[in-house]
Structure 1
Amino acid sequence: MSGKVIAIGLVVLSALFGVGMYYMQVYGYYYDVTPRPGQDVKMVSVATGQPEPVAYADFRAIDADSSPIRYRACFTLSEDPAALGGRFVELPPKEPRVAPDWFDCFEEETIDAGLRDGSVRLYLGQKNIHYGVDRVVAIAEDGRGWAWNEPNDCGRKAWDGTPVGEACPPRPGKAAE
């Protein structure tokens, strides 16, 4: 009898732990980003190489301190998306990061399909927003926009343990490798 009680207790405890872990990953670590009008959406200018703000509306974003790649944002561009070409650094299409289901304005399937068919363009928002992480901005032909953080080459190397080499800046708080 006591063996059954212990086994049932372990199963219940494991299930509760699993539910808690799921909640923390999907809901617990995220927080709403407080909008900063004119500062939230930037893209790197071809002319200056620096991030420049673009006009937008309806901005919503989430982030988490537990990882530099959990940032997701959605907005509506206030200018003609066709006018962005040539002004800002364009990136080759890449698969967008997935957002939690409850953050419903970030439509990764729509973004991915648009990147594949050319109706969504991908731009560099900011280089090294965190060490080894760039912010990318996707803009659809209808003016909808999304942003997320994506590991760059230095970040991928640093995270998998590969020596990053001289092409990468030193990590904050560490000497050059």
Structure 2
Amino acid sequence: MRGKIVVLILVFSTIFGGVSMYYLQVYYFYTILDGSDPELKVTILLRKDKTTESIDFYDFKGIDANNSPLKYRSCFNIVNIRHIKDISIPVLDPVPITAPHWFSCFKAKDLGLDIERGRVEVVFSEKDISTGIDRVVAFYPDGRAYSWHQLNNKYKK
């Protein structure tokens, strides 16, 4: 009888630990960014002087986390795409990072395929937003845009 109790305790402890770990990885650390926050800005890195410029956007949805700079993702629409192409710095090797399943607007796999096929322009938003991390913005001709953080050359190797 004691063996059954010990086994039950081990099984329930394992299940509880697994569920807790899953919750912490997928939900707990993320913060939803409010698109109506007046402090929220989307920027691009300018080709001419390497400074950033804010761009007009709407329908912003985003997530971020304090425990890793790579957890930032956002989806939004851009007002003036032609302006961005002319003044921005293109990213040579953009790789969108998958988002949690519940952040449904950011589909990294589809975005990655569209980048490979040349359907999406990807430009720098900010270099070294955190040590070794760049923020990039990808946008479609129809104005849909996505942003994420990715490793730069400092940590890629």
After superposition, where does 1:62-101 map in structure 2 within 5 Å? Answer: 62-79=63-80, 81-101=81-101
Structure 1's 45 and 39: CA in aligned 2 closer, same or farther, altered over 3 A?
A: farther
Structure 1 unaligned blocks of 5 or more: 158-177
Q: 1:42 — aligned with what?
A: 43
Tell me the alpha carbon deviations over residues 112-163 of structure 1, each in whole angstroms, 9 at most, x when there is no partner. 1210111111111101111111101111121100111111122446xxxxxx
The residue correspondences of 1:1-177 to structure 2 (distance < 5 A) are 1-35=1-35, 36-37=37-38, 39-79=40-80, 81-156=81-156
C-alpha separation between the residues in 2 aligned to 1:154 and 1:117? Answer: 27
Tell me, in whole angstroms, the C-alpha distance in 1 between the residues paired with 2:66 and 2:28: 11
Does the CA contact (< 8 Å) of 1:38 and 1:53 recur in 2? no
**Structure 2 letter corresponding to 1:124:** F
Percent of aligned positions that are identical = 33
Structure 1: distance between partners of 2:113 and 2:156: 25
1:88–1:115 distance in 2 versus 1, CA, 3 Å:
same
Instruction: Tell me if structure 2 keeps the 8 A contact 1:136–1:148.
Output: yes
The runs of 4+ residues in structure 1 deviating greater than 6 Å are none
Maintained 8 Å contact 1:93/1:122: no
Kept after mapping to 1: 8 A contact 2:95/2:150: no
TM-score (norm 2): 0.91
Q: What number of residue pairs does the alignment pair up?
A: 156
After superposition, give the CA deviation of every residue in 1:62-110 in whole Å (9 maximum; x if it has no partner): 101011110011100111x244223100012432101111111112133
Aligned residue identity for 2:52? P
Distance 1:117 1:54, change over 3 A: same
C-alpha separation in 2, matches of 1:83 and 1:49: 16
Whole-angstrom distance in 1 between the partners of 2:126 and 2:49: 13
Aligned-residue CA RMSD (Å): 1.7
Deviates more, 1:15-24 or 1:33-42: 33-42
Distance 2:107 2:82 in 1: 21
Q: Which runs of 5+ in 2 are unaligned?
A: none
Distance (whole Å) between structure 2 residues aligned to residue 37 and residue 74 of structure 1: 17
Greater relative contact order structure (CA < 8 Å, 6+ sep): 2
TM-score, normalising length from structure 1?
A: 0.82
